[in-house]
Amino acid sequence: MSAASGKRLGRILVQSGLITVEQLEEALGLSADGRSLTGVLSDLGYADDAKIAQVVAGQMGLTYVDLAGFEIDPNAATMIGIDMARRYTVLPIKLQDEELIVAMSDPANILAIDDLRIVTGFEIRPVLAAESDLVNAIEKFATASENVADMMGDLEDKLGTVSVDEEEEDVTSENAPVAKLMNMIITEAIRQGAGNIYVEPQENDMRIRFRIDGVCQEILRSPKRLHRQLLGRIKINSGMNIAEKRVPQDGRFGVVLDGKAVDFRVAVLPLVHGELVVMRLLERASIMMSLEDLGFLEQPLTRLMEALALPYGALLVTGPTGSGKSTTLYAAINKTSDVGINLITVEDPVEYRLPGLSQVQVHEKAGLTFAAALRSILRQDPDTVMIGEIRDKETGTIAIEAALTGHLVLSTLHTNDAPSTLTRLTEMGIEPFLIASAVTCVLAQRLARRLCVECKEQYTPSEEVLTRVGFPFEPGNPPKIYRATGCKKCNNIGYKGRVGIYEVMSMSENIERLAVENASTDEIKRQAIAEGMVTLREDGFKKVLLGQTSIEEIMRVVV
């Protein structure tokens, strides 16, 4: 920042009442060595740089942008060099309506704006940002750009000049540039708490996305030629056939980072533009959680514990993919596992490999199906059997019969709620009287994003809104609840982490009778509610009242 710019900024801050004339003079004296006035004022404690940016934006009629939570367009950010970004403390953040929106700490710097216009070829629309946020964003892009540029340069030198055999040998080397890129991607995914990594081939480039708290976020785009190298590296690490490109493949690998052991379950699917890779992150520590840690309220947890205490019967967990069913099953296993109990699982795939547990991996091509594995398992005299998923009549029948012959059976099923599980089993072709006799408890669940504890905002919603969504309240006295706002801690999303939403239906004599009579899902649901079942939506609304999540999030995840 030039001396003239510093004085202009100082006059604005004094006129706004943010600092005094004496404080400005002191700061200008200390900034004579080349430091920015904003930085000096912040160091002296006279004014926060975010507040300075907001005041200047108001005085100049410009927009203030909180970069800590703004989704910066990487295509815009890379329109200028890092040297230029550092020299002027500027960063292009978005291309909109033939204008390049550029975050600046000193929008009065006409020379910087002219240079940006010449270099990019776009009209420049400056916006204000806190200097510290701007510097952090520039350095973040600098680090990412330098890492990718180094890897890209090394790869470009080799691509097109090596044979297929040499290329395969290159992707197997730990020192290969593509190995460093893969390590960077998985390290960032673990540290950001991602649940999935997507490596997606597009028509002209490759896109990397992370799914964080159930929502996808774009992390990186790179030239299409890099996709082949990265795909080969992932396939080799996951134990797949690197030469096979026409059929889907599955694999896995594991890493330890910052003392955390993480398993990666990898699936490759051929698309029109190349092969899509989805890597699911499975943190081993998460499966050591107890049922009490998963977010159960007292009544649903009591019902579930009663079912787990029985030495026989089928306990079924239902919900969509990614709703935490496996975590709940493993938590149940942790509750029932004991040195005096023979516990065997059959899974496809085995997501978590646990010491001291007998786990069977389904292998369809070899004839080891769920049903075939179950028949053999029941000859091993197990006390508890965990079945990854009931997919068909044969598996379901064997599981139900096992529950009737003195085994505790834990399994999952894909249905919308707990009552519809009974009708789903009937539709599979399993006899209703067997279902009624064997099933002891059904748990339906969802995962909702948890409100960020640092920035959640309390408010009183309108009665109209509460009535429309079916939220229980006393007329004339709506409750105070919380909503998402966004801050630096949560990347301005307003949510950080997830909380479970549960519906536990215990099998009573009345519900058993309805199952035998082939009653509809609605009839079973009405009876379960009459007997005290807390529905998914009711459980979610209770967690809204506790300040754990928001109404909007419950309406997003619950039917």
Q: What percentage of residues in the chain have a pLDDT greater than 90?
A: 35
Q: Which contacts (CB < 8 Å, 24+ apart) does range 453-460 have?
A: 453/496, 454/487, 454/489, 454/490, 455/484, 455/485, 455/486, 455/487, 455/489, 455/490, 455/494, 456/482, 456/483, 456/484, 456/485, 456/494, 456/547, 457/482, 457/483, 457/484, 457/485, 458/482, 458/547, 459/483
Predicted confidence (pLDDT) per residue in 53-80, tens digit? 888 788 888 888 888 777 777 667 878 8
- pLDDT tens for 509-553 read 999 999 999 999 999 999 999 999 999 999 999 999 999 999 999
pLDDT, position 11:
77
User: 423-434 pLDDT, tens per residue?
Assistant: 999 999 999 999
Beta carbons of 255 and 237 less than 8 angstroms apart: no
Question: Residue 182: which region, alpha, beta or left (left: phi > 0; alpha: psi -120 to 50)?
Answer: alpha
Percent of the chain clearing pLDDT 70 (strictly above): 89
351-364 average pLDDT score: 78
- Is the predicted pLDDT of residue 318 greater than 90, yes or no? yes
Residue 483 carries which DSSP code?
E
Q: What's the pLDDT tens digit per position in 399-422? A: 998 999 889 999 999 899 999 999
- As a whole number of angstroms, the distance between CA 555 and CA 502 comes to 14
Residue type for position 47? A
pLDDT band for 170, please (50, 70, 90 cuts): low
Mean pLDDT of all residues in 225-236? 89
Q: Which of 3-17, 57-71, 101-115 has the lowest mean pLDDT?
A: 3-17
Cβ pair 74, 58 in contact under 8 A = no
The chain-wide mean pLDDT, for the chain, equals 84
Read off the pTM: 0.65
Query: What is the pLDDT confidence band of residue 287, given thresholds at 50, 70 and 90?
Result: low
Residue 491: both structure tokens together:
């990347």
Mean pLDDT over residues 33-51, rounded?
74
Does 164 score more than 50 pLDDT? no
pLDDT confidence band for 449 (50 / 70 / 90): very high
Task: Confirm if 402 and 378 have CB atoms less than 8 A apart.
Answer: yes
What local confidence, expressed as pLDDT, does residue 353 receive?
72
Question: Of the ranges 142-146, 193-197, 209-213, 376-380, which one carries the lowest mean pLDDT score?
Answer: 142-146
Mean pLDDT of 357-361: 84
Q: Is the predicted pLDDT of residue 309 greater than 60, yes or no?
A: yes
pLDDT of residue 442: 96
Confidence of residue 4 (pLDDT cuts 50, 70, 90): low
Q: Per the structure block, which two tokens stand in for 379? A: 């000859």
Q: How many angstroms separate the CA atoms of 540 and 528, rounded?
A: 18
Does the pLDDT value for residue 161 go beyond 60? no
Confidence of residue 148 (pLDDT cuts 50, 70, 90): low
Among 305, 314, 361, residue whose Cα is nearest residue 335: 305
Q: Are strands 358-361 and 439-451 parallel, antiparallel or unpaired?
A: unpaired
Q: Examine the pLDDT at 247 and tell me if it is beyond 80.
A: yes
Write out the H or E segment, with its range, that includes residue 246: none
